[in-house]
Amino acid sequence: MRKILVLAIAAITFSFAANAQKVPTKVIDNKGTIKWVLDSTTAVITKADSTILYVTPTQMRDSLDNFVRYADTTSMLSTYTNAADNGLTKTGQKIQLGGALTKATTITTTAENFLAITGLQPGSNTTDSVMVIDPASGQLKFISASSLFNALTFGNGLTKTGNSVQLGGTLTSSVTLGTDATNTLKITGLQGGNLSSDSLVVVNGDGTLKKVTAESLLQSGSESYTATAGQSAFVVPNMPATASKVYVWRNGAKLVVTTDYTTSAGNVSLVSAIANLVTAGDQIEIQWVK
């Protein structure tokens, strides 16, 4: 009888063990251990049913949706990345740069920690755009290369026609070109001119270019005087100090410069030996050329 009773109990126990099942729900304890949740109708828990499974943080991160999160595990799981946005994209276990920005984003750089992009390919100055920075906000924007050039203005001797800038136009301020013995200024291809109608280019003391007529370039003058006895000094209007040639005649006889007379700005002076020969009524004629 006792033997029959033992067999009956064993059969009942085997029946409950065979019916014990794990439901899909899993839980995590505060040590990160994953455990199966058994069906509440199961009367007997077998060794197989109570198996404890251990997982790595990587496995835990990729399977969070399959776990029931308890309050004591929430803070632990929050340190693992489960999503990426605002310019980042998560694919599987990899997070890469790329994606739509979801908020205004600022990247701060310094002289030491700067932003560099290498490997950029050559672009087109007619079809591509140019990156610009808003000086107030630092926001990156883009404009077409053509609009950047069109925004430029040219003047003071430069003229812009379409996409071409050429020398030519009205000067709006003084312009100085510095030259030296090595770096000279040359203009080739100049055509032949006419002294009777064309002007000459001259340079004043500060290097400013000006134009004069050929007639004005060659300056000259002539004055006649009726001398008094012994007169030695004669004032010559408009005769410059730089007159290269001064000719003096006394009664038609040409005098010799330095020997018979000297000159200064607007003045001719006869030496004493010649002045002593001058009598009242002598005709003194002075001509000068610059």
Token duo for residue 260: 């018979």
SS3 88: strand
Measured in degrees and rounded to the nearest 5, phi and psi for residue 284 equal: -110, 125
For 177-197, write each residue's pLDDT tens digit. 999 999 999 999 999 988 888
What's the pTM value of the predicted model, to 2 decimals?
0.41
- Nearest residue to 83 via CA among 69, 99, 72: 99
pLDDT digits (tens, 9 = 90+) for 114-126: 999 999 999 887 7
The pLDDT value given to residue 26: 57
Give me the pLDDT at residue 244, please.
Answer: 73
Residue 248 has pLDDT above 60, yes or no: yes
